[in-house]
Amino acid sequence: MFAALGLLSSVVSGIGAIAAGQGQAASAALNAENIETQKIMNQAISLQRANDRQREFFLASSANNAILAMMDRDTGGGDRSVDAFLRRNRETVQRDVRRINVQSRMESLQLDLQAASERRRGQDAAMAGLIEGFSTIITGVLNYENTRASPSYTGASSSLAPSTSPIPPPNPFL
């Protein structure tokens, strides 16, 4: 009876280890989904930053053109210093937008790696749970079989076993 209880305990423990591994895998999958959601949110924020920067440029350009027009400066390309000033502002905005986009891509790649790592961690946890669970179950079965086959379990005693065999030993001289 105690051997059967030990076997049952091993089976329950093994099933628990498998379930724990599956639970960790599900948790890791959920974490990976959260990381991917964060990636999408970061991309939206970066796009908004780039749009805000361009909007600031257009507002500043309008103000600059109005001031230059009041100063009677040619904003159509005839005044080289005004043209250089406006070109430099455009270049600055383009550089800022490129920097925002590169930063966004780098953050996205980092979050992709984090999500992939989290998924891998979940897969590894599930596999470890399976291995631990089956190992526990197999150990329980082997212990049950060893206990069941032992003389003290069956009630047989080595002192009650026959000391001689009914079959005579082979003759070494023949």
pLDDT in tens, 19-31: 999 999 999 999 9
Mean pLDDT of 87-112: 96
Q: What's the predicted TM-score (pTM) here?
A: 0.67
- In terms of pLDDT, which residue wins out, 147 or 43? 43
Q: Where are the alpha helices (DSSP H) in the chain?
A: 2-70, 80-149, 151-154
**Listed ranges 60-74, 109-123, 130-144; the one with the highest mean pLDDT:** 109-123
What sign for the dihedral angle of Cα 61, 66, 67, 72? positive
On whether the CB atoms of residues 127 and 21 are closer than 8 A, the answer is yes
Residue 125, Cα to own-chain centre: how many angstroms? 10
Among 124, 118, 160, 153, which residue's Cα sits nearest to residue 33? 118
Question: 139 with 30: CB under 8 angstroms?
Answer: no
Buried b (16+ CB within 10 A) or exposed e, 29-64: bebbeebbeebeebeeebeebbeebeeebeeeeeeb
The model's pLDDT over 103-133, given as tens digits with 9 standing for 90+, comes to: 999 999 999 999 999 999 999 999 999 999 9
Residue 72 dihedral angles phi and psi, to the nearest 5°: 65, 40
